[in-house]
């Protein structure tokens, strides 16, 4: 199954597998944390010195004590550099680097391992999640103290007669999945901690995927594109791009990925003074509504 088909099946499952339950409560909040990347410029899984800031906003719709639906908007920065790799790996000599901001809109289902309610004052309730997201990215490279957008340059020959291939898209899709913990401080406020991986549909988060193009032809079209495609000469004067055509630049068989880990603070919007005045939204709340009769009368007068 290809990535697009997998994402379609996952979306269908998310919106049909969950039980059809009445809304129990809503919450909204903020997330702050860190991000990192996995791709062609990393020798192992992650580079310890490439953590960057991430933050976001979200809304959560709690369908039951065990299942919730969350929509979120995140902004994260990811970076990578061959300077982090070992000399013996042969990757440091490639001498590539990148950074990009990611704007991610996602939708996930969360499955609590133990029952959760904002009125039960439970601590450290674990959950797992899976979903879909779309994101925008724009890889840039640092060259002599300046940042250059890499996608328009076609560093692997995209978008020009050198290779005939189309430029890669700046918009891609991902499958976010991971785990988290929720702390119910009081009936109004929740704290959370979450770690989520993203399996993406692109191998160009870092602008590196396949082979070197004919760099002489690329230099005739755009000298900067050729310079930022092959940067071994900056690392070792004896290296030049005369014989680089067709040599491996990246690994097209593995898509890039990234993760976001963070802590969150959220506020319950449906407490005893919100929607819970109506008994149909109180199917698993044992607490009586303070001054329930007086409250209903007050609402009736307003109508």
CA distances from residue 45 to 11, 36, 39, 106 in whole angstroms, order as listed: 28, 10, 8, 24
What pLDDT shows up at residue 288? Answer: 53
What pLDDT shows up at residue 26? Answer: 86
Q: Map out the domains of the chain with their CATH numbers.
A: 3-210+250-271 (2.40.160.20)
What pLDDT shows up at residue 281? Answer: 46
Dist CA 191 CA 262 (whole Å): 11
Q: Give buried/exposed letters for 219-245 (b at 16+ CB in 10 A, else e).
A: beebeebbbbbbbbeeeeeebebeebb
What pLDDT shows up at residue 180? Answer: 96
Which DSSP letter does residue 288 get?
Answer: P
Dist CA 86 CA 277 (whole Å): 63
Enter the tokens of residue 259.
């993760």
- Contact by Cβ (8 Å): 158, 181: no
Give the closest residue to 269 by CA, choosing from 29, 51, 55, 16: 29
Q: How many CA atoms lie within 13 A of 22 on its CB side?
A: 10
Q: Give buried/exposed letters for 77-108 (b at 16+ CB in 10 A, else e).
A: bbbbbbebbeeeeebbebbbbbbbebebebbb
What pLDDT shows up at residue 9? Answer: 47
Dist CA 214 CA 208 (whole Å): 16
- Contact by Cβ (8 Å): 126, 113: yes
What pLDDT shows up at residue 264? Answer: 97
Contacts of 243 (CB under 8 A, 6+ apart): none
Enter the tokens of residue 147.
């940042």
Dist CA 18 CA 16 (whole Å): 6
What pLDDT shows up at residue 144? Answer: 93
Q: Which pTM value belongs to this model? A: 0.80
Average pLDDT for runs of 10 along the chain of length 303: 49 45 73 97 86 97 88 98 87 93 97 78 81 98 96 89 79 97 84 96 96 89 93 82 81 94 91 47 48 45 46
Give the closest residue to 252 by CA, choosing from 293, 203, 291, 287: 203
What pLDDT shows up at residue 301? Answer: 47
Dist CA 72 CA 86 (whole Å): 37
């Amino acid at each position: 199954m290809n990535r697009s088909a997998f994402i379609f099946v996952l979306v269908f499952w998310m919106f049909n597998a969950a039980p059809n339950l009445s809304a129990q409560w809503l919450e909204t909040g903020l997330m702050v944390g860190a991000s990192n990347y996995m791709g062609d410029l990393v020798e192992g899984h992650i580079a310890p010195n490439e953590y960057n800031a991430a933050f976001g906003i979200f809304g959560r719709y709690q369908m039951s004590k065990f299942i919730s639906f969350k929509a979120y908007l995140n902004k994260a920065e990811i970076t990578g550099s061959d300077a982090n790799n070992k000399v013996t790996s042969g990757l440091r000599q490639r001498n590539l680097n990148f950074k990009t901001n990611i704007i991610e809109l996602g939708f996930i289902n969360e499955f609590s391992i133990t029952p959760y309610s904002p009125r039960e004052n439970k601590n450290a309730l674990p959950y797992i999640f899976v979903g879909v997201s779309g994101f925008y990215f724009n890889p840039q490279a640092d060259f002599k103290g300046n940042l250059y957008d890499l996608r328009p340059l076609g560093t692997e020959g995209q978008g020009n007669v050198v290779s005939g291939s189309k430029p890669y898209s700046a918009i891609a899709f991902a499958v976010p999945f991971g785990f988290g913990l929720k702390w119910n401080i009081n009936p109004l406020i929740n704290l959370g901690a979450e770690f989520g991986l993203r399996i993406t549909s692109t191998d160009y988060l870092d602008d590196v995927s396949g082979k070197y193009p004919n760099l002489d032809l690329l230099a005739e079209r755009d000298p900067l594109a050729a310079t930022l495609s092959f940067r071994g000469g900056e690392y070792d004067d004896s290296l030049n791009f005369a014989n680089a055509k067709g040599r491996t630049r990246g690994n097209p068989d593995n898509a890039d990925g990234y993760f976001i880990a963070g802590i969150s603070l959220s506020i319950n919007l449906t407490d005893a003074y919100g929607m819970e005045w109506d008994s149909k939204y109180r199917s698993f709340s044992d607490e009586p509504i303070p001054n329930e009769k007086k409250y209903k009368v007050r609402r009736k007068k307003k109508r």
